[in-house]
Amino acid sequence: MNKNIIITIAVKDMKAVFSSKKVWVPMIIVALIICIAVPSCIAFFGLQFDLIGTSTQEIEKPINAFIKDFPNEEMRNTLAAFPTLTYKFVYFFLTFMMIPFFLMVAIINSMVTSSNSFVGEKERNTLETLLFAPISIKDLFLGKVLASLIPTLGISFAAFIVSFIMVNIITYPYFEVILYFNSTWMILMFWVIPILVLFNIILNVLISAKVKTFQEAQQFGGLLVLPIVGIIISQASGMFFLSPLTLFLIGVVLLIANLALLKLVTKFNNRNALFQSQIH
């Protein structure tokens, strides 16, 4: 493993991401809307104007029933203690429903950069030159993974910090607790998301090295969003609760999957096969 080569490739790819507005602007916009604007707006308009509480007598019953059946006792008690339906909804949404949104942003952003990694080089006719250079396929692969991991995690963490500040400025006077500052969110941000992003990137880079065009890479990569959509639905229906333990276990499973993928990468360390499949 040659650290200098890995860093050289990663820096080159990151520069390419941030020199093209068409690439980095959508990445920032997605994070800005989903991780910052959505929770801030829900918190601000919900609490400030009591949007839900005024004309929702008919939906109060099912929501209260939902709270009553909620699988987590601590959350059930906290929600039950709030005076209005708006408080319940905003608190529930921010502490609970935002989790899959953060996961989704991490997945989308990592896909944008990683699915382009090898196929992008191929489409620019530069993969051939890289394969003619005295660098190992493993170093090339690791450079590509690093080039996707750093911007994705950077944007996810930055979005979390900004969202944390915005949401708490708006909600603290009402709830008098600091939101996002608990074990669930810490495990999510600093355990699950880095491992999930790494998993997604390794998988996408592998796909990118196997497919012929960027479009194909995106199609395959897009499938990875599906489990997150599943989590959103299960969260919203109260079917499945992302407790700290569940999140920790998701992280462990993903970590094992990462190790399996890395094993696959070492098998893939064959210049001959990559060259014959990608260069014509």
Partner 1 sequence: MTNIIEVDRVSKKFNDTVILKDISFTIKEGSINGLLGPNGAGKTTIIRLLNGVIEATTGIMKVMSFDPKIQGDEIRERVGIVTESASLYHDMTAWENLVFFSKVYGEFDPKRITDLLQQFDMLAFKDQLVGSFSTGMKKRISLAKSLLHHPKLLFLDEPTNGLDPEGINEVIHYLRKVNQEEGVTILICSHVLHQLETICDSYLFLNKGRIFEKGTKKQLEEKYLKNVDLVVETGLNPLHSCSYKGYTYSRKGPGQLEFKLSSKEEITPLLSHILNESWVHNCEITNRSLEALYFQIRGGKDIE
Q: Which residues form the interface with partner 1 (CB under 8 A)?
A: 2, 4-5, 8-9, 12, 15-16, 19-20, 124-126, 128-136, 271-272, 275-276
Among candidates 258, 268, 196, 252, which has minimal Cα distance to 227?
196
Among candidates 216, 264, 2, 6, which has minimal Cα distance to 120?
216
Q: Which is nearer to partner 1, 131 or 158 (CB)?
A: 131
Q: Are 208 and 220 in contact (CB under 8 A)?
A: no
Among candidates 90, 83, 5, which has minimal Cα distance to 41?
90
- Dump strand ranges (E) for 139-195: none
Write down the least CB distance from residue 259 to partner 1, Å.
Answer: 27
Q: Which is nearer to partner 1, 50 or 128 (CB)?
A: 128
Write down the least CB distance from residue 271 to partner 1, Å.
Answer: 6
Q: Which is nearer to partner 1, 121 or 191 (CB)?
A: 121
Write down the least CB distance from residue 265 to partner 1, Å.
Answer: 19
Per the rule left: phi > 0, alpha: psi between -120 and 50, beta: everything else, 2 is: beta
Question: What Rg value do the Cα atoms of the chain yield, rounded?
Answer: 22
Write down the least CB distance from residue 20 to partner 1, Å.
Answer: 7
Q: Which is nearer to partner 1, 131 or 231 (CB)?
A: 131
Q: Which is nearer to partner 1, 23 or 158 (CB)?
A: 23
Write down the least CB distance from residue 115 to partner 1, Å.
Answer: 18
Q: Rounded to the nearest 5 degrees, what angle is found at the Cα of 43, between the Cα atoms of 37 and 46?
A: 120
